[in-house]
Amino acid sequence: MGTQGPDPAYSWGAGPAGRPVVSFAEPDVSGARTSPRTGSRSVAAAACFVLGLGLIGGAVTGSWLTGEAGPEATGNSFGTARTLWHSVPVDDLFPLTVEGTGAGPGGADRTWTRIAVAPDSGCAHAFDPLLYKALAPVGCQRLLRATYTDATQSYVTTVGLLFTKADPAAMSALAARFRDEHLDRRADLMPRPYAAAGTAAATFGDAQRASWTLSVLTDAPVVAYAVSGWADGRTVDAPQPAADAVRSGATTDPAQAGLGNEAQGLADRVERRLRKTVGTATEKPA
């Protein structure tokens, strides 16, 4: 079984020994020159300044890891997140193996193995026309995709990260529209899979899509998604959004097979890795 696309050790800006190249310039905060001050007041002011920086830095990192970003965190993390598609290697965003503790039906554990990586690209032909139109307001900076299979090679799932050109307000507006109009549950707005010859996903085409999830982030210029199907190439007449397929008592074929869990579990864990990577890159040296 071969892996398609770029070598994970060298793609998307890997540095020596495949380590991430994260070189974000520090902003110039020097301002205009002022006359030096002496005495207890200046010492106290300096102490407060250092303490303030520490609190701000902690808030930035903490908010990203918990998914709650304030105004300061949003501004900083947006600039950092926007460059990730070319500043970290594949393995940092789409690892070779993803552990899904409790991610399967009934809380069963899952293990996913990456079998294909798409070259980073634009969004042309990567989405169905209606989804492409729905995402157009935030623009397309870069699209990263990888396809995984489960331990039994019965299922395949493509997970994607669309890095947009939008600011926080535009991302919030799009997230509100997807939420209010339930666009993330419409079968005509499903993401497309990434198939690769010589892998378990070789026959994973549009007609094989069984379940999916899509999340418009509001604290980063990113749309995260996943779409799953059977590895044997069977067609699916009635795909079901993951949010419905994972519900207790769901009886559709995708739900009974756990394909909603496959899509949701992988998307959740890749999104967590994205946040962790951004949080690490946003931290300033002590």
Residues 77-123 have pLDDT tens digits of 787 888 878 878 889 999 999 998 888 788 888 999 999 999 888 99
Give the pLDDT of residue 75. 53
Confidence of residue 36 (pLDDT cuts 50, 70, 90): very low
Of residues 81 and 192, more confidence is placed in: 192
Give the pLDDT of residue 281. 76
Is pLDDT at 214 greater than 50 in this prediction? yes
Of residues 194 and 81, more confidence is placed in: 194
- HEC states along 55-123? HHHHHHHHHHHHCCCCHHHHHHHHHHHHCHHHHCCHHHHCCCEEEECCCCHHHCCEEEEEEEECCCECC
Is pLDDT at 177 greater than 50 in this prediction? yes
What average pLDDT is seen over the chain? 78
Question: 2, exposed or middle or buried, with CB in 10 Å at 0-12, 13-18, 19+?
Answer: exposed
Is pLDDT at 50 greater than 60 in this prediction? no
Of residues 80 and 54, more confidence is placed in: 80
Q: Tokens for 203?
A: 């026959």
Q: Find all residues with CB under 8 Å of 21, minimum gap 6, and list them.
A: 13, 14, 15, 87, 88
**3-class DSSP state of 168:** helix
Is pLDDT at 246 greater than 70 in this prediction? yes
Question: 253, exposed or middle or buried, with CB in 10 Å at 0-12, 13-18, 19+?
Answer: middle
Is pLDDT at 230 greater than 60 in this prediction? yes
Lowest mean pLDDT among 20-34, 99-113, 223-237: 20-34
DSSP state of 179: H
Which pTM value belongs to this model?
0.74
Mean pLDDT of 173-196: 96
Is pLDDT at 223 greater than 80 in this prediction? yes
Give the pLDDT of residue 34. 37
**What whole-number percentage of the chain has pLDDT above 90?**
57
According to DSSP, the residues that pair with 228 across neighbouring strands are 157, 211
Of residues 72 and 137, more confidence is placed in: 137
Please name the helix (run of DSSP H) or strand (run of DSSP E) that holds residue 45, with its range, or none: helix 40-66
DSSP state of 16: G
Give the pLDDT of residue 65. 29
Question: Cβ(275)–Cβ(61) under 8 Å?
Answer: no
Confidence of residue 11 (pLDDT cuts 50, 70, 90): very low
Please name the helix (run of DSSP H) or strand (run of DSSP E) that holds residue 256, with its range, or none: helix 253-257
**3-class DSSP state of 155:** strand
Query: Among 94, 85, 84, 81, which Cα is nearest to 226's?
Result: 94
Beta strands in the chain (DSSP E): 97-100, 110-117, 142-150, 155-163, 211-216, 222-230, 240-241
How wide is the angle at C-alpha 183 spanned by C-alphas 181 and 185, nearest 5°? 115
Give the pLDDT of residue 52. 42
